Amino acid sequence: MATIKSLILKNKIMSDNISAALVKELRGKTSAPLLDCKKALEETSGDIEKAIEILKIKGLSKVDKKSGRDTLEGLVFSYIHAGGKIGVMLEINCETDFVARNQEFQDFAKEICMQIAASAPQFVSSDKIPGTFVEDEKRIISAQVEEQGKKPEVAEKMIEGKLNKILEEVCLLDQVYIRDSKLKIKDLLNQLIAKLGENIHISRFTRFQVGETSQDGE
């Protein structure tokens, strides 16, 4: 009996530690029911990424279900920043013309253009990064760490950490949102997918800056 009481008390404490804000954040990323979001967070002790995986396995993530749908509609959005010194062209796709004409969809496109203008990503997502880019960056980082004379096990962790940071900075979807450091661009995208009910895909972009070569990202 004592064991059962302890378990009930433990579950109650865990439930109390899951804040409404955390549940809301998970729901925004997955569009799963609130109760299921709360249960997933309780199972993972508040770990958002692990909770998302649990919801995906259970088939409760609407965002994940929509990811395989064709996105043949959309728009090409342009944005000029910093007194005409920086410009961005973005192709963003959705399933229907109805959503393409939606103001929230177009506002999102503008936000993404502003993100690209400010943060200068090179690729849309990590799966678009050429292997040669990763190898070159790892070689440069390894040489820098080697000069510091770190122990092999320490050096390996440093290299991995620095490389991951660079890859996050060059990938649009993995970048921290310029207006909210708690969110990444992929979080914003998932929230929009959940809200508008269609698969939405950032296809490619080009960033222009006066005096520099244009940056194309796919």
Residue with more model confidence, 208 or 154: 208
Residues 177, 111 within the same domain: yes
Residue 59 pLDDT = 56
- 10 half-sphere exposure, CB direction, 13 A CA radius: 8
pLDDT digits (tens, 9 = 90+) for 81-113: 878 999 999 999 999 999 999 999 999 999 999
Residues 58, 77 within the same domain: no
CA–CA dist 96, 192 (Å, integer) = 14
For the chain, give the mean pLDDT.
85
Report the CATH number that the domain containing residue 30 is assigned in CATH. Answer: 1.10.8.10
What are the CA-CA distances from residue 67 to residues 33, 186, 193, 205 (Å)? 18, 13, 9, 20
Number of domains forming the structure of the chain: 3
Tokens of 130: 């050429």
CB 33 within 8 A of CB 60: yes
Residues 89, 177 within the same domain: yes
Residues 104, 137 within the same domain: no
pLDDT confidence bin for 186, thresholds 50/70/90? very high
Residues 48, 88 within the same domain: no
Residues 37, 108 within the same domain: no
Domain boundary (26, 50, 66) is at: 66
Residues 60, 148 within the same domain: no
pLDDT confidence bin for 212, thresholds 50/70/90? confident
pTM greater than the 0.85 cutoff: no
Residues 118, 150 within the same domain: no
Domain boundary (51, 66, 81) is at: 66
Residue with more model confidence, 92 or 4: 92
18 backbone φψ class: left, alpha, beta (φ>0; ψ -120 to 50) = beta
Residues 22, 97 within the same domain: no
Residue 82 pLDDT = 76
Contacts of 209 (CB under 8 A, 6+ apart): 85, 86, 87
Report the CATH number that the domain containing residue 191 is assigned in CATH. Answer: 3.30.479.20
pLDDT digits (tens, 9 = 90+) for 141-174: 888 888 887 777 888 888 889 989 999 999 999 9
CB 48 within 8 A of CB 29: yes
Residues 20, 89 within the same domain: no
Helix then strand then coil, in percent of the chain rounded to 5, is 60, 20, 25
Residues 99, 179 within the same domain: yes
DSSP state letters, 40-68: HHHHTTT-HHHHHHHHHHTT--HHHHHTT
pLDDT digits (tens, 9 = 90+) for 21-77: 899 888 877 767 788 889 999 999 899 889 888 877 765 566 766 777 888 899 999
Q: Provide the domain limits for residue 53.
A: 2-66
Residues 182, 207 within the same domain: yes
